[in-house]
Amino acid sequence: MATPISTIPKIRDALRATFRSGLTRPIAWRQHQLYQLARMAQNEQELICDALKKDLGKPKTEVLMAEVGCVIERAVKSAEQLPVWAKTEYPEVADWQKPWKPTLYKAPRGTALIISPWNYPMILTFQPLIGAIAAGCTAVLKPSELVPTFSQLLDEIVPKYFDPNVYRVVNGAVPETSKLLELQWDHIFYTGNGRVARIIATAAAKHLTPLTLELGGKSPVIIDSAYDIDLAAKRILWGKCNNAGQICVAPDYVLVQRDKQDELIKAFQKHYDSFFPEGALDSPLFGSIVSDLHHKRLTSLLSRTKGEVVLKGRSDASRRRLEPTIVKNVAEGDSLLEEELFGPVLPIVPVDSLEQAVDFVNARSHPLVLYVFSDNENVKQQVVSETQSGGIVFNDTFQQVAVRELPFAGVGESGYGYQVMKHTYDTYTQLRSSIDMPREAEPHLAIRYPPHSEEAVQALTAAVRTPIPSSRL
């Protein structure tokens, strides 16, 4: 059920009033909210699994591992580490400035808007909220209308664990989101695609609202011809099968040496048969495509490819099911290279050298993540030095998201702004700089007041005469 549009400004105003009251400032209060979030995820896990099964066909184990468990763990760990994160800092300064007491206060930004996607709706709604809670912000959660069962569930369970004047769910589609974007927020956190991100960024610009944009793009895989092809295939296929390929960090296409392409295909077939002995079409371990529209989009891309389908996945449009499908000899300009696939389709692009693979990646928008399979440290360093991406992962796929100490972020078309644990806390935190000038400093400050003597001018402009070390290339 959509939130009445007329109530949306009132919801924002109520949250803003709560923030200004100071309720969210005490560290103990924030820790309690984080533990409440963990309790909600733990207590309501069966309802969450059922909702995501209905909306996405998600296997229960996948939901518990990648969504529910992550929220519980990261909420608890954030609560434990929060006193350290929020501690006022006193930067090291020159001795003559120490009496000024230079200080960095950690101040919450205010009231946030979190717009989350449909593909991993639990973790991608609450991971940003964890940071907002930790920072002391209030927040509106706007889950995706493409997962209606889950979104309605949030509307029902969130008020059981949180004060609705602090954290509130707003449901609906374009009209409700448009009304939210008309309002001024202190931070907007959006996870989704570049087209909608541009709309959100335009709306935010009217209020000079800071943004975090976690987008996606075509995340490539480069396979060094000397690497274990069988192991690479196993790890790539596993990463592609998570949520039926509907995740921003899914391997999108593979660049492999031309003479290794057939070996790679055989390895993909071997591991597919191992993962899904009866095929993935009816497997409870493989998810569904989110909507009829997305299912049609994927089958349309496949119908137009000039590549050769070598692992032909079966399709059932009535149930929005599509098995993993692998296509070889995909070339520049192919339909499978037009857009982020966001589904269980994997094109293989044969190349003749590592340099050609790097050039292929660099000719496109910067990806959210670049996967490289190689044991050669020189190859790794070359790819690090010669490419740009939000992250770079060697010899695996998908697993990097489990490392909560690493920031998660895009670059360029794949987004900007950091998240996960302290990085999300920092997103919602203003570093409020301060000095406190003592009365006793006045004799030392006398030099700044006009009129200036020649001696004062020399002292005040001393930085201009700073010695510059010699250097040459």
Q: Which residues are catalytic?
A: 214, 248
Long-range contacts of 338-341 (CB under 8 A, 24+ apart): 338/301, 339/218, 339/301, 340/193, 340/216, 340/217, 340/218, 340/252, 341/218, 341/245, 341/250, 341/252, 341/253, 341/298, 341/301
Q: Give the span between the Cα atoms of 79 and 72, in whole angstroms.
A: 11
Contact at 8 Å (CB) between 321 and 215? no
Can you tell me the distance from the alpha carbon of 264 to that of 230, in angstroms, rounded to the nearest whole number? 7
Centroid of chain to Cα 434: 32
> What are the φ and ψ backbone dihedral angles of 257, each rounded to 5 degrees?
-55, 135
Cβ–Cβ < 8 Å for 5, 175: yes
Across the beta sheet with 111-115, the strand order is 167-169, 138-142, 111-115, 187-191, 211-214, 415-416
